[in-house]
Each structure stands twice: as C-alpha cells, then as structure tokens.
Amino acid sequence: MGGHRGTWGSQAGFILAAAGSAVGLGNLWKFPYLCWENGGGAFVATYLGAVVVLGLPLMMAEILVGRRAQASAVPAFAALGGPAWSWLGVLGVLAGVVILAYYTVIAGWSIRSFVLCLEWSFGGYPPDAGARFPAFLADGPQQVLLTTVFSFLTAFVVYRGVGAGIERASKVMMPVLFAILLYLLVTALRLPGAGEGLRHLLEPRFQDLPPQGVLLGVGQAFFSLSLGLGAMVAYGSYLSPQERIGRTAAWVVGLDTAVALIAAMVMFSLLHSIPGLPDRVSGSTVAMLFVTLPELFYTQMPGGTILAPLFYVLVAFAALTSTISLGEVATSYLVDRRNLPRGRATILSASVIWVGSVACALSLGAVPALSSLRVFAGKEGLLATLDHLAANWMLPLGGLGTALFVGWHLPAAAVASELGIREGSPAFVLFRWALRVVAPLAILGLLILVLTGRDLS
C-alpha cells in the first residue's frame, strides 16, 4: 500500500518535514512571550515537563496511527477503530482548516517585514517605523495581498506532493533556519544583559509561576508540536515501516524544543539588555516579533542591517513549513476520503481556506463587521476568535481523543509491534500509561480551565 500515496525519501526527510511542521510561529513568537509573561524559568520547566510527559507520547501515537493505517487521520481512525472514530479525524481536518486560515495571515506579515527590512538596510531605519504598524493592520488590500501570496506558496508546495514538494522544501529550509537562528543566538549572547536574561529564563523559580501557567504550558506544547489535529497522522502515513517511531518522534520533539528555547534565549537577552523595553512589549505578542525586533536590529544590534532581513526569511521559512503541513491535512483528506487526485484536492482545499484567510485578513480593522465579531469574551475579531477556538478547544479535544484511542482502544500487541518494542518492556508500559491516564487527566484539566474562562490562545 502507500506507494501511490507517496513516501518520504529518507528518515531524515521525515524528521525535517515533521520538525518543519512543529517549528513555526508558535516557537518564535508565542513561546518566548509565554515564558516572559509566566515567570521565565518556572514556565520553561513546566513546558519541558509537558513536552516529555504528553508531547512525546502523543507524537508517537499520531505517527503510529498514520503509519499503521497507511492513511491520513479520517480514514486512519476509521480503519483502525471503526467508523465511529472517524469523527476524531474530521475534528482534526476542521482544526487544520481553522488554524491555516488565520496562521496564513500572520505568516504573510513576515514577507512584508522582509521587504521593509531590505528597504531599511539600504535606506536607513525611519524613526516612525513602529508607529506605522496599526495602520498596516487595518490596510485591507495589503493584508489580502500578503495572505494571498502566502496561501499560494503553501498550495504550491503541497501541490507538488510529499517527496518533491514537502520533503525537498523542508530539506532546504530547515537547515537554513537552524543556521540563522544559531547566528542570532551567538549575537544575542554578546549583549550586556544576556547573563541576566539567561538566568531569568533558565532558573526555575516556581513562586513566579502563575496558577494557570501549568496548563498554558500544556496548551503550548500541543500547538508547538502540531499535535491534536492529525498533521502527524498524515505525515506518519508516509513513513517507511523500517523506521523506529520512538526515535523519530524524539528527534522531532527535540528539534522543536531546541528552537523554542533558542528563540526564547535570544528574546530574553534582548529584553534584559535594553532599558525600558519590557514595558513596551508586554501585553502584545505580535508587536514583539514584528515591531520591537526590527527596531532592535536597526538601533541596538551589531550587524543588525544584515541580521534583520535574514531573520524574517527565517520567520517565513518556519511559518511555511508549518502551513504546508496544515495544508496537507486538508489535502490528504480529500485524496484519501474523496478520491480526488492530489492536484485537484490541493486546489480545492487551498481555495476554500483562502476565503477564510481573506476574511481573517480583513478582521484586523479593515472590515468593521469582521473586526468587531465577538464570540468569546476578550477576543475581538475573526482572527482572534478562530485562534481561541482552535487552541482552547479543538487541539486539546483532538489530543484527548487520540490518547484514548491509542491508549485504550487499539490492542496492545498492535501498538507494540508498530513501535517495534516488546509489550512487557518498561518503555512500552510507560508509553501506554502516559496515554491511558496521564495525558487524558492533564487535558481534561485544561478543558475544565477553559470552561471556567481561562484563555490559552
């Protein structure tokens, strides 16, 4: 089976593509911000705990389901568990569509920042650059244009398929991303506040962790590792039967975590080096990535004129390898379930999602009806509403379903054989109990928190 569906050319190809999915705006923008707002080292420790206890087993579980069924999430859950379980896949496809619709908008900003930085690197950084951002948000035509460009890039890669598209793109982009990030880290660590920044980030002072910090860490682990919507089920379905799932998943989780930590080290070094900066960034995650950073590059950082455009190439690459995995969720659904050829499936899903993206792009001030839409308290506008819906509801529910499915529903012998380990081995027992008890309890805790009105997006 599987031959006509495409396979990864190598284990490294899978790891880079899956790590590409995981590493994205979540690492570069959400993670440093969450660390900053939630007590630094204590949040990092919590996040690392969530990654090891929940993230790794769920990553393995999703890959396992995809590879065993040789299908993306909807047919995979149906094939292994019966038709009733296909709802879990459908929820994932919906979550993928929702996330891709708004994620593309923010991803598109990286193109604008790149172009602006080129301009500034040659022509000088204008003093009012930061003040132009609100007008940019409300500029409908520009927002739609950027979103359309990014949607097109995503669809182009997905259209080309698994080996020639996703794998090849990831193999080029991921190493470049790591290289740029390391260069940034070396530069940031030379700043005067780097030592203090690292201490703040790495020293766990649990008295600084707000009560919801634990559950915020869990939510961030889901989003950052692309779990809970079947993206890793789809990628796993193209994985060769020879590869060890545990080791492969550990690589993906490790790379994602490393990128998040490095991004946070860079941000914390900057934040501790520039007096007055923390007050300006707190409260706005987006501003940190798209307004404050360019200012820092051009006014404070040695080599900033070269680093700034490079940095937004990095953001664009990271976002693109994530959007293609989201696009793959919807496309593989149409291929596997509706029997569409890959090309038509890509065009159809990309067009539908593009309509959603345009609506999100116009919900930042351009169209009042979309911008003032209010479903959840404190979430104004379509983009914020969809982010809230996906991060708070859809991903945790999908993760809960997957944990229960693999932990309780799949026969232990099948799970052990797919993982290539013995049923009685300590690793297997640990894996199974993580899925049976630990993950469901943690996720239920998260959902209860959301029900009582906490925001995790």
Binding site for ligand PFF (CB under 6 A): 21-22, 24-27, 96, 99, 223-224, 226, 229, 231, 322, 325-326
Return all residues near 145 (Cβ < 8 A) that are at least 6 apart.
none
CB of 166 to ligand PFF, least distance (A): 12
Tokens coding 356: 């959603």
448 Cβ contact partners less than 8 Å away, ≥ 6 residues apart: none
For ligand PFF, give the closer residue by CB, 96 or 219: 96
Identity of the residue, 214 or 326, whose beta carbon is nearer to ligand PFF in the bound complex:
326
Q: How far is the CB of 263 from ligand PFF (least distance, A)?
A: 11
Minimum separation from the CB atom of position 110 to ligand PFF (A): 12
Element (H, E) at 239: none
Which residue sits closest to ligand PFF, CB atoms considered?
26
Least Cβ distance, residue 301 to ligand PFF (angstroms): 24
46 or 322: whose CB is closer to ligand PFF? 322
Residue 316 Cβ, how far from ligand PFF at the closest point, in Å? 13
Closest to ligand PFF by CB, 25 vs 367, is 25
Residue 72 or 325 having the CB closest to ligand PFF: 325
The C-alpha atoms of residue 123 and residue 264 are separated, in whole angstroms, by 30
User: CA distances (Å), 90 to each of 77, 112, 158, 259, in order?
Assistant: 10, 34, 20, 30
Tokens representing 32 are 């440093």
Nearest distance, CB of residue 225 and ligand PFF, angstroms: 6
Query: Could you tell me the two tokens for 417?
Result: 């054989």
Closest CA to 224 of 35, 10, 14, 377: 35
Nearest residue (CB) to ligand PFF, 6 versus 398: 398
Q: Which residues contact 27 (CB under 8 A, 6 or more apart)?
A: 224, 256, 259, 260, 263, 318
Q: Using the 8-state DSSP alphabet, how is residue 438 labeled?
A: I
Closest separation between CB of residue 280 and ligand PFF, Å?
24
Give Dmax (Cα) for the chain. Answer: 66
Please check whether residue 227 is in contact with residue 59, taking contact to mean a CB–CB distance below 8 angstroms: yes
Residue 25 vs 277, nearer CB to ligand PFF: 25
